[in-house]
Amino acid sequence: MDVIELESFVNRPPHGFTAERRAGCTLVKWVQEKSCVFIDEIQFSKGKVIFCNSPGREITVRTLGECADLRRQLTSKTIYILVSACSNTKVEEKTNREVPALGYYVVAINGSHPMIRWEMERGLDLTISSVAGESYTVDVDVSAALQRGVGENFQILVDAEKVKPVWKDTHFTIKYRSDALFDFPYWFGFSKRQFKVCFNN
């Protein structure tokens, strides 16, 4: 796993990525044969960043073939998502309000790594049990792997003060939409599932 500050990612794109600046925004292009990019358009202090051909954080599949193809990609390519580093004060905990991000980071997860692939396949097998006749939503959460990757002592410098961030938006979502006429679990909100990717060496 790699964790790269968004500004650094845009200024010095990693192998397989290019960044092109155009009239107040940056277009990021990437080699789709090697990567899965699940990042929405983002506006931050340095301008707008658009990841071309990215489906965003939510990926919708409608057929068994699309589902199988997505599974193959998740277990053979590097997955990129954007996470937010936020502050977490006692006032914010009490009010439970949204707080602005201290920074944005791109998380890269090697889906072909044997342990990551095993966790991904196991999670998909456990959460997608009746894909043929049931719609579902699955959140793939990488917060545990991210926390292990950056370590407990990771801090961000904000106004000359070191702040330990709370990570948010640490997932991407797979949505399967079945054509079944009586899809009661989906109608009543019982089709939401989640699994975690925890491994980080």
Give the per-residue pLDDT at 104.
94
**Domain boundaries, position 32:** 2-196
pLDDT over threshold 60, residue 149: yes
Average pLDDT of the residues in 177-188: 55
- The band of 4, judged by pLDDT with boundaries at 50, 70 and 90, is very high
Which position has the higher pLDDT, 92 or 65?
65
User: How many separate domains does the chain show?
Assistant: 1
pLDDT over threshold 80, residue 95: no
Dist. CA 85–CA 88, nearest whole Å: 10
What pTM does this model have?
0.86
Give the per-residue pLDDT at 18.
95
Give the per-residue pLDDT at 163.
85
pLDDT over threshold 90, residue 19: yes
Mean pLDDT of the chain: 84
Give the per-residue pLDDT at 83.
96
Helix axes 114-127, 64-74, angle to 10 degrees: 150
Give the per-residue pLDDT at 91.
47
Give the per-residue pLDDT at 97.
60
- The reply to whether 70 falls in a domain is yes
pLDDT over threshold 50, residue 84: yes
Average pLDDT of the residues in 130-143: 77
Q: Are 13 and 34 in contact (CB under 8 A)?
A: no
- The reply to whether 201 falls in a domain is no
Compute how many other C-beta atoms are within 10 angstroms of the C-beta atom of residue 68: 12
Give the per-residue pLDDT at 198.
82
Consecutive H or E run containing 58: strand 58-61
- The reply to whether 25 falls in a domain is yes
- The H-assigned helical ranges of the chain are 6-11, 64-74, 90-95, 114-127, 143-150, 184-187
